Amino acid sequence: MLNYDTVAAHYDATRGGVPRAEAAAAAVLGLIPSSARTLLDIGCGTGLVTERIALARPGLGVFGTDFSYGMAQVARQRIGAVALADARRLPLPDAAVDAVGAVWLLHLLRGEGDVRAVVSEAARVLRPGGVFVTTVDKDAAHDVGSDIDEAFAPHLDADPSDSADLIVRYGSEAGLDVVGEAHFRGHGQGQSPLSAAQKVREGYFASRLNLPGTAAERLATVLTSLPEPDRPRADPRYRLLALCARD
């Protein structure tokens, strides 16, 4: 599993940078009512998306939390109001905010009950009528019909923790109902076989691929043998769901 403390300083450069962050922020804001005055971004990472949300809607008070000290330190330089916190136990009272965002977070949570706990916490801190916006089916967004996808296929985890069906069910249990969805492009995240091979070796795909023993090295070898190994394949297209807290 990726160590987010050690990669924080150069994380954005490996994840599409500002163009991807702006696309994500615009899609999130498209699902947040104009009447919202506060937004908590959980698992905010380096705060690049969080900062873009704040810049795009000046009247919205935006703050974040992250479990990684390294990520939170970078985020604080961008948005200031960032707390080091576990998304399963948010340091906020009930009904404290108008919106909660979770972009590229739930797919990483593999512990028993973790995703349900995060959805439940998001619902707890939302005011009635507030909106929880989260990416779902994150890993599936990378399936663009490429030869890299074909190489990955035998190793895919058949039970993603952020499947839309799961999130809808957990949301309903917590008093949240689906009210909308959006899609956005992961600018600059189209993988080349060589970049995919490097990331397989570094453990970047731990939430997506089941690679026990020497399987990671074998997959990396397959990837490096693909045609045009330096050419990036198509960018992913991510999906967001918006769930509203019942009155």
Residue 45, Ramachandran bin (φ over 0: left; ψ between -120 and 50: alpha; else beta)? left
Task: Kindly state the tokens that stand for 121.
Answer: 């916490």
Task: Kindly state the tokens that stand for 100.
Answer: 């909660």
> What CA–CA distance (Å, rounded) separates 94 from 124?
5
- Tell me: the pLDDT tens digits for 19-64? 899 999 999 999 999 999 999 999 999 999 999 999 999 999 999 9
Task: Kindly state the tokens that stand for 177.
Answer: 């109902």
pLDDT(98) > 70: yes
> What CA–CA distance (Å, rounded) separates 157 from 39?
32
pLDDT tier at 7 (50, 70, 90 boundaries)? Answer: low
pLDDT tier at 12 (50, 70, 90 boundaries)? Answer: low
- 185: Cβ–Cβ under 8 A, 6 or more apart, which residues? 20, 23, 235, 236, 237, 238
pLDDT given for residue 208 in this prediction: 87
CA angle 2/218/137 to nearest 5° reads: 50
pLDDT above 90 coverage of the chain, percent: 83
Task: Kindly state the tokens that stand for 196.
Answer: 């995919």
DSSP code of residue 227: S
pLDDT given for residue 179 in this prediction: 98
pLDDT above 70 coverage of the chain, percent: 93
CA–CA distances in Å: residue 170 to residues 70, 122, 176, 177 = 30, 11, 8, 10
CA–CA distances in Å: residue 198 to residues 154, 165, 234 = 18, 32, 18
The model carries a pTM of 0.90
pLDDT given for residue 1 in this prediction: 56
Enumerate the domain spans of the chain. Answer: 8-142+159-190+234-245
- Tell me: the pLDDT tens digits for 121-136? 999 999 999 999 999 9
* Homologous superfamily of 8-142+159-190+234-245: Vaccinia Virus protein VP39 (3.40.50.150)
Tell me the pLDDT of the chain averaged across its residues: 93
